[in-house]
């Protein structure tokens, strides 16, 4: 069925002229709409095509800007006459319209690449399998605290293209995925950060880890000797792969154990050595918990220092940072029991970090759609720290079977309201209830945000009930 918007259809019923370079944008989410706005601002003949239905807010933007579009279909004759195609990072190369465009020799790039081509400032780009959102937000916060004219863009916040179309900044802090990096050709960060690489999205990469690794390292492909490449050298993949590759940028190692690196942890403090400057930061003087956040903090601090930030301003910023929701987010304290929302932890590696952040006894909430999880990597921590496992999902057999001989108490539910009550019943004062699912959320929820939001709301509701009963 042709679900194209009627208004847009009236625009495209004629043969397009070639008065200006024709750019076709595939996908009309934040990325695609941002690219469309930038393309129009630069005077291109712009057409947007989305095979699904376009969200109302983006459709309204396209209409108000008189940008032609279609939804519910990709019409080849309206797409394959483009000189340039900008595709959503979510569209794989194996998509039929992409294969057709490649066969015609049409240049295909990502919105990130398009935005970069018109960007006049400098870029701090952050990628990695885990921790990139926290590191991006912290870097942006510290850049602001240090007085830079800076914008936040990418997978957190607005698209880079939208920012470039609407604003001018000296610096752009960008969270980028492997999907976005796949569509870059000239993208060159002044400072690039690669945190870690663990198996993820392998279905996109022919189930070959090497393809996924190569995608992440595209971050460095255009970096020059005046750029800086910050990387977590302890990571089992990032460290060795960095040594194997020819990277022109200045390497900046961060480590939890190697004290000969510019940024390291000495067991008490994060220690930084850059040229003639040396300084240290105690984690308790920051707002972030856990060993994984030592890594994130060292990466962010290193980036802001290398950008020219003053040490005293950086330290001040560390004391005022507030992380994004669903990432070890403390959502409530009930009868001395802390409830923590880590719904963003959709793989086992993320749960490693979460478990490592707490010394208190844990009521651990896990479950959802399994991604081929190997729970052996958290077996020891679970045995040591978890007193109760509550499975939240439609199919909990794998979790129950694996941890049946490890955790003394296992419960299960499919409702969040029942979940928080179960957790409180199993907990004692001083315990932590940790939602860190290790699984995707789509069996019971719209996405991990929906799961986290429902958990937060249920905790706050129970907190109100408990406090009311004490009055």
Positions of the chain with pLDDT under 50? 1-18
**Residue 4 has what pLDDT?**
37
Query: Which residues lie across from 50 on neighbouring strands?
Result: 71
Token pair for 321: 């940072």
Taking the C-alpha atoms of residue 113 and residue 121, their distance in angstroms, rounded to an integer, is 14
In this predicted structure, what is the pLDDT of residue 200?
A: 66
pTM: 0.79
Position 129 scores a pLDDT of 87
Give every CB contact of residue 210 below 8 A, 6+ residues apart in sequence: none
List domains and CATH numbers for the chain: 6-105 (3.40.50.720), 114-318 (3.40.1190.10), 329-470 (3.90.190.20)
N- to C-terminal Cα distance for the chain? Answer: 60
Per-residue pLDDT, 232: 97
CB proximity list for 468: less than 8 A, separation 6 or greater: none
Residue 18: its pLDDT value, please?
Answer: 40
HSE-CB at 284 with a 13 A cutoff on CA atoms is 2
pLDDT at 351: 94
Q: What is the pLDDT of residue 3?
A: 39
């Amino acid at each position: 069925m042709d679900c194209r918007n009627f208004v847009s259809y009236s625009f495209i019923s004629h043969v397009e002229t070639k008065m200006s370079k024709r750019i076709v944008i595939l996908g009309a989410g934040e990325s695609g709409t941002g690219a469309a706005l930038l393309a129009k601002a630069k005077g291109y003949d712009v057409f947007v095509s989305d095979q699904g239905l376009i969200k109302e807010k983006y459709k309204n933007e396209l209409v108000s800007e008189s940008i032609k579009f279609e939804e519910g279909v990709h019409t080849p004759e309206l797409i394959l006459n483009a000189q340039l195609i900008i595709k959503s990072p979510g569209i794989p190369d194996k998509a039929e319209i992409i294969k057709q465009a490649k066969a015609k020799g049409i240049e295909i790039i990502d919105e990130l690449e398009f935005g970069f081509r018109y960007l006049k400032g400098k870029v701090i780009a952050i990628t990695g399998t885990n921790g990139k959102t926290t590191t991006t937000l912290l870097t942006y916060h510290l850049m602001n605290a240090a007085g830079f004219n800076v914008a936040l863009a990418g997978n957190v916040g607005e698209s880079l293209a939208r920012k470039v179309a609407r604003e001018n900044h000296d610096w752009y802090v960008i969270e980028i995925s492997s999907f976005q990096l796949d569509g870059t050709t000239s993208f060159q960060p002044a400072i690039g950060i690669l945190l870690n690489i663990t198996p993820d999205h392998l279905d996109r990469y022919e189930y070959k880890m090497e393809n996924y690794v190569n995608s992440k390292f595209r971050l460095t492909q255009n970096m020059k000797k005046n750029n800086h490449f910050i990387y977590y050298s302890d990571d089992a993949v990032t460290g060795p792969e960095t040594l194997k590759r020819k990277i022109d940028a200045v390497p900046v190692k961060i480590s939890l154990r190697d004290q000969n690196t510019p940024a390291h942890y000495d067991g008490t403090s994060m220690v930084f050595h850059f040229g003639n400057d040396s300084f240290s930061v105690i984690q308790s003087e920051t707002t972030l918990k856990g060993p994984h956040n030592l890594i994130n903090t060292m990466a962010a601090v290193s980036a802001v220092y290398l950008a020219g930030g003053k040490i005293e301003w950086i330290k001040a910023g560390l004391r005022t940072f507030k992380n994004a929701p669903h990432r070890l987010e403390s959502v409530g304290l009930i009868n001395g029991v802390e409830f923590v929302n880590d719904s963003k932890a959709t793989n086992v590696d993320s749960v490693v970090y979460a478990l490592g952040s707490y010394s208190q006894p844990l009521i651990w909430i896990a479950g959802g759609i399994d991604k081929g999880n190997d729970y052996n990597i958290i077996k020891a921590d679970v045995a040591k720290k978890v007193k109760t496992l509550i499975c939240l999902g439609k199919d909990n057999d794998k979790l129950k079977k694996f941890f049946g001989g490890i955790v003394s108490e296992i419960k299960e539910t499919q409702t969040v309201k029942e979940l928080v009550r179960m957790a409180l019943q199993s907990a004692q004062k001083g315990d932590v209830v940790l939602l860190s699912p290790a699984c995707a959320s789509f069996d019971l929820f719209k996405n991990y945000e929906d799961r986290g939001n429902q958990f937060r709301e249920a905790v706050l509701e129970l907190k109100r009930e408990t406090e009311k009963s004490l009055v």
